[in-house]
Amino acid sequence: MDETVSTNGTKSSDYDAVIVGGSLAGNTAAMLLGREGLRVALVERQPGPDAFKRICSHFIQASGVPPLERLDLLDPILAAGGVRSRIQAWTRWGWLKAPPDEAGLGLNLRREVLDPLVREAAASTPGVDLHLGRIATGLVREGEAVSGVVVRDRDGKETTLRGRLVVGADGRDSDIAEMAGVKEKVIPHGRFAYGGYFEGGVPEYAPDSAIWFMDPHWAAAFPTDSDLVFYAAMPTKELLPEFKRDPTEALTSFVAGLPEAPPIREARLVEPVLGKVEMPSRERVPVAPGLALVGDAALAADPLFGVGCGWAFQSGEWLADSVAPALRGEERLERGLKRYRRTHKRKLGGHEFMIRDYSSGRKITPPERLLFSAACRDQKVAATFDKFATRQVGPAKTLAKTIPRSIYVNARHALRSRGAAEQPAPAEEASAAR
């Protein structure tokens, strides 16, 4: 790292990339760029290496697991107590359970354990300098392009970190995006979230997780490390006053009142129930000259579908793969940024489109009813649906594969139900014979 001191005493350091935000997305990008032999400054405002995101249900979708394998983090995560699991969904047509499939396994590990583990791996990657306890307060520009970040330490001292690329990995309220004037779309959210970790009373389907589509309310049980279960509720806002009045009691009775409820009443809360009332989706253009956004800074989707952590790992990976050739001097940075933008849109655009609409708090629509009901009745539909829900395939392919079969499955179900209704019951049969 080259460090110079300017006439006004401000220090300035040169890197290939300056990444702001030392959480899942930022650490992923830093590790992969470091492995390419590039010099990376990783700036995190939290002072302690053990800092973690507190408001998060922590479930990582199957699509987020391959980047962890690539980063050699899957084994350490499992050794730290990570639990591989699938999700089964309760719907008014019954349980939607896909047939077992190794590729469909997600991952549960509390952020309290996950975040320090991932950060430590980034900090020990050659080429990566982790700057803890520094907050990004300004951007430096050369012409149109962003070319550095002003960071302030806890004593108020400012340093400029210059980089050929600046990366905003600073979450849904990204300061970097705001300072850069990146265009964003904010989509209001009709639900709120409360959740907490409980011990004891583990559901019978553990290690698998369960979610409930109470239409429009939603709930979940995620068994995780240390024999804990994270219970979460995401109701629509008319239930907010009772959750605000007594979050623990409201969460416990909400979960205990679910159909085929998990045994939350037999469990003990191990830390305070936390809630988030406002969680609008935020979609931003993920590149600008000299700048890229990853993770929630690029796209903060509705947490109900548990996609944010996986997308943070994936977008960090896509960015590093897209810009590494340019940062090695093999092509123009603009080309790498374009490649990243295209990949981000191609992989996540369709999913985000589907997720965004449901975040209004609406009830499920007739086409969704068709798919959910058919998936509960037929393992082939369930398998395709699961690949979509775990974000391994996009909506277009899923709809093309499931709609015709769903129509067939439901028509067959209707015929069988009608046939059964027309069959005389055994008692009626006997009296008719008499």
Ligand X SMILES: Cc1cc2nc3c(=O)[nH]c(=O)nc-3n(C[C@H](O)[C@H](O)[C@H](O)COP(=O)(O)OP(=O)(O)OC[C@H]3O[C@@H](n4cnc5c(N)ncnc54)[C@H](O)[C@@H]3O)c2cc1C
Per CB under 6 A, residues contacting ligand X are 20-26, 43-46, 53, 55-60, 135-136, 169-171, 175, 193, 276, 279, 295-297, 303, 306-310, 312
Q: Kindly tell me which of 299 and 409 has the beta carbon lying closer to ligand X.
A: 299
Residue 283 Cβ vs ligand X, minimum distance, rounded to whole Å? 13
Q: Kindly tell me which of 297 and 337 has the beta carbon lying closer to ligand X.
A: 297
Residue 383 has φ and ψ, to the nearest 5°, of -65, -45
Residue 380 Cβ vs ligand X, minimum distance, rounded to whole Å? 27
Q: Kindly tell me which of 43 and 333 has the beta carbon lying closer to ligand X.
A: 43
Residue 122 Cβ vs ligand X, minimum distance, rounded to whole Å? 11
Give the list of residues 6+ apart from residue 270 with CB closer than 8 angstroms, or none: 196, 197, 198, 199, 228
Give how far the C-alpha of residue 250 lies from the chain's centroid of Cα atoms, to the nearest Å: 25
Q: 319 vs 22, 121, 238, 266, 269, CA distance in Å?
A: 15, 18, 40, 45, 39
Q: Kindly tell me which of 57 and 147 has the beta carbon lying closer to ligand X.
A: 57
Residue 183 Cβ vs ligand X, minimum distance, rounded to whole Å? 19
Structural tokens at position 276? 């988030």
Element of type H or E holding 139: strand 135-142
Cα 107 from Cα 401, distance rounded (Å): 27
Q: Kindly tell me which of 103 and 414 has the beta carbon lying closer to ligand X.
A: 103
Residue 310 Cβ vs ligand X, minimum distance, rounded to whole Å? 5
C-alpha Rg value of the chain to the nearest Å: 24
Give the closest residue to 17 by CA, choosing from 147, 174, 121. Answer: 147
Pairing between strand 218-223 and 209-213? antiparallel
Strand order across the 184-187 sheet: 184-187, 281-284, 299-300
Q: Kindly tell me which of 33 and 60 has the beta carbon lying closer to ligand X.
A: 60
Q: 52 vs 93, 279, 381, 414, CA distance in Å?
A: 38, 19, 38, 50
Cα 307 from Cα 74, distance rounded (Å): 18
Cα 285 from Cα 298, distance rounded (Å): 7
Q: Kindly tell me which of 171 and 247 has the beta carbon lying closer to ligand X.
A: 171
Q: Kindly tell me which of 124 and 365 has the beta carbon lying closer to ligand X.
A: 124
245 CB neighbour count, 10 Å cutoff: 9
Residue 161 Cβ vs ligand X, minimum distance, rounded to whole Å? 11
Q: Kindly tell me which of 53 and 380 has the beta carbon lying closer to ligand X.
A: 53
Residue 229 Cβ vs ligand X, minimum distance, rounded to whole Å? 13
Crossing angle of helices 308-327 and 333-358, rounded to 10°:
170
Residue 193 Cβ vs ligand X, minimum distance, rounded to whole Å? 4
Q: Kindly tell me which of 394 and 401 has the beta carbon lying closer to ligand X.
A: 394
Cα 297 from Cα 392, distance rounded (Å): 22
412 CB neighbour count, 10 Å cutoff: 13
Cα 83 from Cα 77, distance rounded (Å): 9
Residue 61 Cβ vs ligand X, minimum distance, rounded to whole Å? 6
Element of type H or E holding 366: helix 366-377
Q: Kindly tell me which of 316 and 378 has the beta carbon lying closer to ligand X.
A: 316
CA dihedral 188, 61, 99, 412 (to 10 degrees): 20
Residue 419 Cβ vs ligand X, minimum distance, rounded to whole Å? 43
Residue 208 Cβ vs ligand X, minimum distance, rounded to whole Å? 15
